[in-house]
Amino acid sequence: MEEEEEEEEVKESIENLWQEVRDLSLGTTPHIDHLPTPPTPLHFLRHYITPNKPCLISSAATRHWPALSLWPSATYLRSTLSTTPVSLHLTPTGKADSLTPHPTSPSSLCFASAHVQTLPFGEALDMVLNSREGETVAYLQQQNDCFRGEYGALKGDVEEHISWASEALGCLPEAVNLWVGNHFSETSFHKDHYENIYVVISGEKRFLLLPPTDVHRMYIRDYPAANYQYHQDSGEFTLELEDPIRYVPWCSVDPCPSPKVKQREIDKFPLYFNGPKPFEVTVKAGEMLYLPSMWFHHVTQSPDETGLTIAINYWYDMPFDIKYAYFQFLQSIPYPPSKDPMLRKARNVESNSDGYTSNSGEESDITAFEENQEVRNGKDRKDN
Amino acid sequence: MEEEEEEEEVKESIENLWQEVRDLSLGTTPHIDHLPTPPTPLHFLRHYITPNKPCLISSAATRHWPALSLWPSATYLRSTLSTTPVSLHLTPTGKADSLTPHPTSPSSLCFASAHVQTLPFGEALDMVLNSREGETVAYLQQQNDCFRGEYGALKGDVEEHISWASEALGCLPEAVNLWVGNHFSETSFHKDHYENIYVVISGEKRFLLLPPTDVHRMYIRDYPAANYQYHQDSGEFTLELEDPIRYVPWCSVDPCPSPKVKQREIDKFPLYFNGPKPFEVTVKAGEMLYLPSMWFHHVTQSPDETGLTIAINYWYDMPFDIKYAYFQFLQSIPYPPSKDPMLRKARNVESNSDGYTSNSGEESDITAFEENQEVRNGKDRKDN
């Protein structure tokens, strides 16, 4: 009885937190702030970075970027990048770094990463344009600072950094990444340990956003890692578990389940489906989203008339300060009550002896870069 | 058994938080950052306000303030303020707004406020200079924007606001308060819902500081409110409970217990005495302390050769954002486990239906101004 009371108290405290952060700071509608012009560094720091609050900045911010007129023409990209080798992500469904039925025990799930292939840009772009769901979906992306690496020839078409963000944060971007895809590609709910400025160049991206306070609503669990292998001869995929087995903590919630499984999903993840609605924003060509560090985000996209969705994002080091310490604390509190050993395990993954590195040695490709940076940042901080 | 496990987990999570915020951001020594010159607004916002981290700014910041040379001469203050009526706080011990033996049941404690008397400045200053511990200790202070009210004649001697702080926070001070006392006066551990710039003009102030993450180490409990009454004819005090009874949640820890009671205090408040040491800083004449919102602070002081400690502080509205929501959540988690109904009560005081006002209707004089402001701010925020 007393135990139940304690549990009830913790449940209430956590649910109050979801509401309070909205009442105080984020707002109680699914909308985020829209800024007509880029903010000053001070305004951006005070109203968005400090409170860890997203905002959308209108296309006035990118009016002078050559990319906006040049990139939507595939001709320009083809001639500029020509046969430059680039990283192409291949999946049968468009869902990479996401949960998918386990290859040998289909009643459970695994964490599936794309097959990554290096190809000359022209060929790779053809594969993106020829993507077919259920067969092969290709996505040009690599979250390892690829824009300043593979796509260096496009450097002059965008700003090297977002000046007001760099000034506010006191640093230059750690990574700049390019994304060229289409409506088949979808990014499942996850968070990054970066402050993120996300700029759409062509087409639209739709983000669902949940603040870090809502971590329990994501049902982060450990899933075995698997990789798609693409067999060029047959044009088919196999999904292979990593050996030795490696577990990846990942959000369990699919926010847009098909009607057939919807009720089952609601029953499995009631904290997500019955709690406050996620924030929603559609980022159009020329617009920028400030996606604050540690926010959970789910991304879908639609292409422009050429069939492509193109975006570039700037990752800045996040401040590891009292907010991060509070987040780690929140995540360590068992809710729903910790009878589930899987949950218990997942909960503890992010806290290690260093206190600020996450999932060392058991993280997915998507965050390998991020993770290295984080460890490095942690070291820098210690040296100060 | 399972309940104990759960409790053990929560205990570990809370203690990890104390350490983590120090490892990541605040530092693991009792020292705070010292800045040789005033920071730029951007630097101050990025490195101190955003991470909720204190810093000391050297006397270079106030070199041009006339107050530094004028005020230590009581002659100047006497001639400028002359017979201006001012608020004088009188206690027998120098400890106002602090815990003291209950007047009718001395084995328990109550929360005692000073006798406040309005007197012509000259007479009031004489009483401060003639203070005697155990008899009458007088302290010129009133936390209701008194500097811009009662002490308006001194306005030209200091900056009206701290320009880099105002620019960083995007507002002017809500209140500016003057403090004229001596070494008898001591301020017990408490927190304010303000960003605070504290400037010492004469003498020294020594602060012990604990971050808001350490809230459980303060053993905040509800104490019955009492007021000192000073009887001018006899020169004696009585301590009278408020009728009807009113409870004030207050920190139970005295960080500097006398040797006689020290072991008893350590046994009563082990989380304070056995946990990480508080941050310590001595603020000298001309120096400024940035005391971040929600930090617990305990203050002692020593006078200059004229026998006075003089200080002025600028209270700025604090941002009620994700940090505040996290703090409220942390405070609502029962630790030590909530078998103690007093603690359970105290824990719940700060959360009311508004989510951001604290202790409405059951707060001490010391924060009455603050509270009104807070409610007002909350309203403003809602109207935005």
Interface contact A330-B334, CB threshold 8 A: no
Inter-residue contact A198 to A309 (CB < 8 Å): no
**Rounded CA separation B293/B216 (Å):** 17
Tell which of B10, B209, B322 to mutate to test the A interface (max A CBs under 10 Å).
Answer: B322
Lowest-confidence segment of A53-67, A129-143, A339-353, B28-42 by average pLDDT: A339-353
DSSP string, B309-325: EEEEEEEEEPP-SHHHH
pLDDT for A334 equals: 84
For chain B, state the CA radius of gyration. Answer: 21
| Extended beta strands in chain B, E state | 33-35, 55-57, 85-91, 98-101, 109-113, 115-120, 137-141, 175-181, 186-190, 194-202, 204-210, 220-231, 236-241, 247-251, 279-284, 288-291, 296-302, 309-317
Question: Where are the alpha helices (H) located in chain A, listed in sequence order?
Answer: 2-21, 41-44, 67-70, 74-81, 121-129, 163-169, 259-268, 270-274, 322-332, 341-349, 368-383
A60: phi then psi, degrees, rounded to nearest 5: -55, -30
- Residues in chain A with CB shorter than 8 Å from the CB of B9 are 332, 334, 338
**Rounded CA separation B11/B31 (Å):** 26
**Rounded CA separation B342/B273 (Å):** 21
Mean pLDDT to the nearest integer, B114-139: 96
Cα–Cα nearest to A46, from B373, B55, B378, B49: B49
Contacts of A48 (CB under 8 A, 6+ apart): A33, A39, A54, A55, A290, A292
Tokens of A366: 């998507």
B140: phi then psi, degrees, rounded to nearest 5: -80, 105
- Residues in chain B with CB shorter than 8 Å from the CB of A334 are 6, 9
Contacts of A342 (CB under 8 A, 6+ apart): A221, A222
A279-284 and A204-210 strand pairing: antiparallel
pLDDT classification of A362: cutoffs 50, 70, 90: very low
DSSP assignment letter at B160: S
**Rounded CA separation B49/B291 (Å):** 10
Write the CA distances from A161 to A104, A171, A228, integer angstroms.
Answer: 45, 10, 34
pLDDT classification of A222: cutoffs 50, 70, 90: very high
- Residues in chain A with CB shorter than 8 Å from the CB of B333 are 10, 13, 333
Identify which of A10, A24, A355 has the shortest CB distance to residue B324: A24
Query: What type of residue is B29?
Result: T
DSSP assignment letter at B235: T
Write the CA distances from A12 to A2, A269, A306, B251, B298, integer angstroms.
Answer: 15, 17, 50, 25, 32
pLDDT for B2 equals: 64
Q: What rounded mean pLDDT belongs to chain A? A: 89
Cα–Cα nearest to B73, from B325, B256, B308, B371: B308
pLDDT for A9 equals: 85
Query: What type of residue is B285?
Result: A
Identify which of A42, A326, A330 has the shortest CB distance to residue B41: A42
Sign of CA pseudo-dihedral B330, B332, B333, B338: positive
DSSP assignment letter at B276: S
Q: What rounded mean pLDDT belongs to chain B? A: 89
Interface contact B333-A333, CB threshold 8 A: yes
Inter-residue contact A360 to A371 (CB < 8 Å): yes
Interface contact B20-A355, CB threshold 8 A: yes
- What is the tally of helices (H) and strands (E) in chain B? 11, 18
pLDDT for A316 equals: 98
**Rounded CA separation A366/A96 (Å):** 9
The alpha carbon of residue B150 is apart from the nearest alpha carbon of chain A, in Å, by 33
Mean pLDDT to the nearest integer, A304-315: 96
Q: Does residue A366 surpass a pLDDT of 70?
A: no
Lowest-confidence segment of A45-54, A188-197, A347-356, B78-87 by average pLDDT: A347-356
Cα–Cα nearest to A377, from A306, A312, A300, A324: A324
- C-alpha atoms less than 13 angstroms from C-alpha of B202 in its C-beta half-sphere: 23
Choose between A339 and B224: higher pLDDT. Answer: B224
Sheet with strand A296-302: strands edge to edge: A95-96, A186-190, A296-302, A204-210, A279-284
pLDDT per position as a tens digit, A22-68? 999 999 999 999 999 999 999 999 999 999 999 999 999 999 999 99
pLDDT per position as a tens digit, B302-359? 999 999 999 999 999 999 999 999 999 999 998 875 455 454 444 444 433 333 333 3
Mean pLDDT to the nearest integer, A290-310: 97
Tokens of B202: 């004469």
Identify which of B9, B211, B381 has the shortest CB distance to residue A334: B9
> In chain B, how long is the greatest CA-to-CA distance?
71
pLDDT for B178 equals: 98
Mean pLDDT to the nearest integer, A298-314: 96
The alpha carbon of residue A101 is apart from the nearest alpha carbon of chain B, in Å, by 33
Write the CA distances from A65 to A69, A203, A286, A304, B117, integer angstroms.
Answer: 8, 16, 9, 18, 67
pLDDT classification of B7: cutoffs 50, 70, 90: confident
Mean pLDDT to the nearest integer, A73-91: 96
Q: What's the length of chain A?
A: 384
**Rounded CA separation B47/B151 (Å):** 33
Question: A39-62: b or e for each residue (b if 16 or more CB lie within 10 Å)?
Answer: bebbebbbbbbbbbbbbbbbbebb
pLDDT for A177 equals: 98
pLDDT classification of A5: cutoffs 50, 70, 90: confident
The alpha carbon of residue A213 is apart from the nearest alpha carbon of chain B, in Å, by 8
Identify which of A24, A42, A381 has the shortest CB distance to residue B320: A24
pLDDT for B384 equals: 30
Contacts of B356 (CB under 8 A, 6+ apart): A23, A24, B320, B324, B374, B377, B378, B381
- Residues in chain A with CB shorter than 8 Å from the CB of B53 are 321-322
B64: phi then psi, degrees, rounded to nearest 5: -90, 5
pLDDT for A98 equals: 95
Contacts of B159 (CB under 8 A, 6+ apart): B65
pLDDT per position as a tens digit, A97-143? 999 999 999 899 999 999 999 999 999 999 999 999 999 999 999 99
Say whether pTM exceeds 0.95: no
Calculate the CA dihedral of residues B145, B151, B152, B155 and round it to 10 degrees. -100
Q: What's the length of chain B?
A: 384
- Residues in chain A with CB shorter than 8 Å from the CB of B46 are 45, 168-170, 319
Distance of CA B65 to the CA centre of its chain: 24
Inter-residue contact B49 to B169 (CB < 8 Å): yes
The alpha carbon of residue A12 is apart from the nearest alpha carbon of chain B, in Å, by 9
pLDDT per position as a tens digit, B180-207? 999 999 999 999 999 999 999 999 999 9
**Rounded CA separation A241/A363 (Å):** 15
pLDDT per position as a tens digit, B44-61? 999 999 999 999 999 999
Phi-psi region of B82 (alpha: psi -120 to 50; beta: other; left: phi over 0): left
